[in-house]
Chains A and B, each alone.
Chain A
C-alpha cells in the first residue's frame, strides 16, 4: 500500500469526473406499487379470514346447541364475502398505465367507494345479527330460565312471545343503538386493522401532490 486512502479518494474522484446522478423524476413508482400491493394483500387475507371464521363460527355454534344461529350468521356473512371479492377484483382492474399519482388517486377513490359499500352492508348486517342473537337467546333453554325469573321478580300482564314488555323495551333500545352506530363500529374496526396503511397512503398522495405542485 504505497498510496494513502486520502490520495486514493481524491485521485479516484478526480478521474471519475462528474458522478452520475440517478434520475429522480418518478420517485414514487416503487412506493406506490408497494402500498397498493400491501393493501390488496391485506384485503385478500381478510376475505380468507372471514370464510374460515364463518366455518369455525358455524361449528362452534352447532357444538353449543345453536346451529340455527350459526347458519344465520353464515347467511349474513355471505353477502360480505361477495362484496369483498367484487371490490377487490375492481382494485386489480385499476389502470396502471398512468402516472404514479393518478394510479394512487384512483386507488384511493376505489378505497373510499369500497368502504362506502362495506358501510352500507354493515348498516344492515349488524342490526340483523343483533336480532338473530336476541331470537336465539329468547328461544334457548337458558333464555327461558331468565325470562321465567324476570316474570317471577317483576310480574306483568304485558307479555309477547313469553317476553315481558320491559325486556322488549331494553331489546328495542339496544336495537336502536346498534342501528345508529353500526357504521361507526365498522369504521372503528377498519381503522384498527388498516389505519396505519390508510395514513401512509394519504401521506404518499400528499407528498406526490406537493412534488408535482398540484
Chain B
C-alpha cells in the first residue's frame, strides 16, 4: 500500500492483524493473502467507519470478518469444530512464530471453532468482554462463560499435545 493511510491507520494494528490471520491459516502463502486482504478491506471500508467507535475495534472487526469470509470460501474438505473427542484430533505442528510456546498455543487455538478462535484471540489481547461482544456481534453476558469454556478446552488440547 505504501500510503500514509497504511502507515498511520493500519501499521499500528499490524500485530493483531497478524495474530488473527495466523489463527485462520495453515501456511505462509495463505497468511500473506489474508493479511493483504484485511489491509485492503480496512482501506476500502474506511468510509463506513463510525467515528464514535474505536478505530482499533473497527480494525479487529474487519480483520475477523475477512478471515471468516475467506475461510468459508476456501474451505475444502473437513471443517474443524470444537469437539470433546480429543483423541481424534490431528495436531498439525505449524511453526508460525519463533516461540515454541506460542506455536503450541496457536496449534491448540486452531482446533477451536472459527468464532471461538476470534473470542480467545481478543481475550488474550486484553479486550474487555464488552468489546469482544461488540466485535463478534454477541451479547456481552455470554462472553465470560464462553472464555472460561474455551480456556478449559485449550488447556485440554495442550495437555493432549504433551
Contact = CB atoms under 8 A, between A and B. Distances in A.
Partners in one complex: yes
Among A24, A207, A211, max chain B CB count under 10 A is at A24
Contacts of A27: 1, 36, 39-40
Interface stretch (A5-13, A80-88, A193-201): A5-13
Contacts of A93: none
Given A1-B155, A207-B40, A211-B1, A22 B35 contact: yes
A21 B18 contact: yes
A1 B151 contact: no
Contacts of B11: 21
Interface in A107-162: none
Contacts of A30: 33
A25 B6 CA distance: 10
B39 A16 contact: no
Q: Looking at chain B's contact residues, is the secondary structure mostly helix, strand, loop, or mixed? A: helix
Interface string B34-76: 0110011001100000000000000000000000000000000
Contact of A19 (B18, B40, B120, B159): B18
Nearest to B109: A5
A16 B40 contact: no
Interface stretch (B78-86, B94-102, B135-143): B94-102
Contacts, number: 67
Interface band, chain B: 20 to 34
A11 to B, nearest CB: 7
B32 interface: yes
Given A16-B98, A21-B14, A5 B32 contact: no
Contacts of B145: none
A207 B36 CA distance: 14
Interface in B83-135: 97-99, 101-102, 104-105, 120, 124
Interface in A1-58: 1, 3, 5-6, 8-9, 11-13, 15-16, 19-22, 24-25, 27, 30
B97 A12 contact: yes
B94 to A, nearest CB: 14
A8 B102 contact: yes
Contacts of B6: 24
Contacts of B35: 22, 24
Interface string A179-214: 000000000000000000000000000010001010
Contacts of A207: 40, 44
Interface string B137-161: 0000000000000010011001100
A205 to B, nearest CB: 14
Contacts of A11: 99, 101
Interface of A: 1, 3, 5-6, 8-9, 11-13, 15-16, 19-22, 24-25, 27, 30, 207, 211, 213
24 contacts: A1-B159, A3-B101, A5-B124, A5-B154, A5-B155, A8-B105, A9-B124, A11-B99, A11-B101, A13-B102, A16-B97, A16-B102, A19-B14, A20-B18, A21-B11, A21-B18, A22-B18, A22-B31, A24-B39, A25-B1, A27-B1, A27-B40, A30-B33, A207-B44
Given A12-B102, A22-B18, 16 more contacts: A1-B159, A5-B124, A5-B158, A8-B101, A9-B105, A9-B124, A12-B97, A12-B99, A12-B101, A16-B97, A16-B98, A21-B11, A21-B14, A22-B36, A24-B2, A25-B1
